[in-house]
Structure 1
Amino acid sequence: MRLLTHNMLSSNIKGVTSGFPLRLEVEKVVEKQVDFNADFLNNMFVKIEWKALVDASRAMGYADLPDQTEPSMLDSDEFLKKFHHALLELHLEEGALICPETGRRFPVNKGIPNMLLHEDEV
């Protein structure tokens, strides 16, 4: 599961008011090469919750993203390459996503998060 996906997931358990961002429990991270596309990154930048991306990338062992950003950073190739790597090339292969409010664990196996709810959570 890419951090791009993680940045758009939230816990949908009945009664949860703050299900974002899901915390990561990391067992295995895989890096997969992806073609660099600056236009894609520029378009995604405004849609990304930056703090959630930074926290998730650090949980996966990647600490090269700055704590805060500003749009002018998109003019830097160095910044774009770090953003690209964190967003698209780091994959949570094994682990779990954890609801920040309830602590409910959603397993991630072979890079696929299982976000199915139990009957009493719907």
Structure 2
Amino acid sequence: MRLFAEADLVFDKDIIPTIELLHEFKNNETDKMVNDIRNSSKIIIWVVSIPFIFVIIASALLSFFLSRNMSRAIISLTEAADAISLGDFSKAVTATTKDEIGDLAQAVERMRVSLQKALERLKKRK
């Protein structure tokens, strides 16, 4: 019995405190790892978010300027077509872009010149 009492004493005095110390160490290490992961996550979020926000702002600005330029070209073509429909062939239609709107402006200019020449030929016949 005395042997069990001594074993019980050793267990209570040495083994339990050692287990508690290991448990505390494990908890501290786990807390450190969790904090490291949280800090890394915050850094990753910032590293990804800042360029993403920059790209969104740049895209919005680019869209604004492109749509504004396209609108100006379309308004100019509309005004030229209205003038031609009223018989005013004096204003040349200039193409400032090299896209589909520029192609349309060139076609409207060719139409203006053709109509102007056709009208002049008609006037000469009378």
**TM value normalised by structure 2:** 0.21
**More helix by proportion, 1 or 2?**
2
Which has more radius of gyration? 2
Task: Report the TM-score when normalising by structure 1.
Answer: 0.21
Structure that is richer in strand per residue: 1
Higher relative contact order (CA 8 A, sep 6+): 1
